Amino acid sequence: MVFAPWPDTPPLRRVYLRAMVLQAAIGIYPHEHGVTQRVRIDISFGVDDGPGLDVGRDDLSRTVSYERVVLLVRRIVTGGHVRLVETLAERIAAGVLADRRIRVIRVAVEKLDVFDEIEAVGVEIERRQAGNAGQP
């Protein structure tokens, strides 16, 4: 996956989780209730990496743990039936943005087994910390 730069933001460090595949209780149709389906989730988020930060320091405290994000996503996905991929993406974005160090996030959620001739269907969203929309 190739990422374009975040528009209208100061320097950010991009942290990403690529192609996380989980079983999710998701869907609006009756045949989708009481079963799980494979979903693939891609997440990238921007953490401040600008002036005043000691970016060369090898210290976990200056970054965001991707392990924490993985555990959060697992908890959200297994938290009960969700009707829409959009809802699942919004819940993931809100959960990750609870860490105020994260300025912006992109979340893609894809259902993998909907149509035989299509690899995936889904949605991708981008969200920013409140007050940061279009603001550096």
* Domain 12-128 part of CATH 3.40.50.12160: no
In this prediction the pTM is 0.87
pLDDT at residue number 123: 97
CA distance 17 to 5: 17
CA distance 35 to 33: 6
Low pLDDT (below 70) residues in the chain = 1-5, 7-9, 50-56, 59, 61-62, 131-136
Catalytic residue among 91, 103, 111, 128: 111
Every domain of the chain and the residues it spans: 12-128
Give the model confidence (pLDDT) of 120-136 as tens digits: 999 999 999 986 544 43
Annotation marks residue 111 as catalytic: yes
pLDDT at residue number 11: 76
